[in-house]
Amino acid sequence: MPTALITGITGQDGSYLTELLLGKGYEVHGIVRRSSSTVRSRLDRLFYDKEVYERRLFLHYADLDDVTTIRRILMRCEPDELYHLAGQSHVGASFEIPETTCQFTAMGTLKLLEITRDLTTPPKFLHISSSEIFGRPAESPQTESTPMRPVTPYGVAKTFATQMVTLYRDSFELFACNAICYNHESPRRGESFVTRKISRAAAAISLGLETELRLGALDGRRDWGYAPEYVEAMWRMLQQDKADDYILATGESHSVEEFLDAAFSSVGLDWRKFVQRDDRYVRPSEVARLVGDASKASDLLGWQATTRLPELARRMVSSDIQRLRAEQASLQ
């Protein structure tokens, strides 16, 4: 039975990756931050499965800067594969907490690489990078060789982490890969992210629970994909004979307005009647022209993003409607 260790296992990508690996017969270990809350909603189904939890799925508590504990976990688990998904991942929040973002997203990755380097049998290592490393690129779409020009604290931190992974691969012969992920969403996306804010608002307004949605700039464009497909590519990267970096993207660019239209149209509403601009949500610096060329992933991994924006938005709204109805029923 192959063994995998996942940092950030309770996040969107971590939960989907856990399900994927368990389905492939892995023993899965996850590192989570210890807090006063024990709610792990994205993994609830697995926690309450007595055939899985504490038999094939195990949780370990540690912060990314807790080097001693993480080293102990790695030595105890001896994973074949290490998926590093943890870190402060909200771009907007990175302007408010730049030091925290760099500490966990940048330095957390370096510390994990150092621990891995010292192990007798280092696991295959995957770091989830971001399109934010390209910032305002000179070319579009971007490829793996596009120069990195980050314009946000999160992008700067991810650039450091991405380049460190490449450095350790080249200098210390680690099997270390960067999954350069463009925006990928799902019903499990956190509610502070714009796509989930939109899907939840469309659901709530359609049910008569809310009357408006306040957003920042609506002209920003992103390459939006479906998260479960992206974790499949991450797994495929570690099954290759040679470690390398891959862009994971749909190759299509859409505006926030287009996502709004797709989400609200799925419940028969016109978003223009409900959305108000709020300058509090406008970022000090914004990326531009971010759209990825995933040809390399297609050619070498046999991977392509298949879920497009209208279907993605519909799935997210439908899930939020079910969730809100369940919440209302529990209050009655």
Q: Which residues are catalytic?
A: 130, 132, 154
Beta-sheet pairing, 124-130 with 225-226: unpaired
Cross-strand pairs, 177: 126
Residues with Cβ within 8 Å of 240's Cβ and at least 6 positions away in sequence, in order, are 300, 301
CA distance 93 to 106: 15
Alpha helices in the chain (DSSP H): 12-23, 44-47, 67-77, 91-94, 98-101, 108-118, 153-172, 194-206, 227-237, 256-265, 295-296, 309-331
**CA distances to 40, 123, 124, 129, 214 from 33, in Å:** 11, 22, 23, 20, 31
Length of the chain counted residue by residue: 332
**CA distances to 70, 109, 110, 164 from 176, in Å:** 18, 12, 12, 10
Query: What backbone torsions phi and psi does residue 326 show, to the nearest 5 degrees?
Result: -65, -40
Cis peptide before 141 (omega within 30 of 0): yes
Q: What are the tokens at 88? A: 């402060």
Query: What backbone torsions phi and psi does residue 5 show, to the nearest 5 degrees?
Result: -120, 130
Q: What are the tokens at 209? A: 């629970």
Q: What is the identity of the amino acid at 108?
A: G
Please count the other Cβ atoms lying within 10 Å of the Cβ belonging to residue 92: 16
Q: Are 243 and 182 contacting, i.e. CB atoms less than 8 angstroms apart?
A: no
Angle at alpha carbon of residue 78, lines to 72 and 81, rounded to 5°: 115
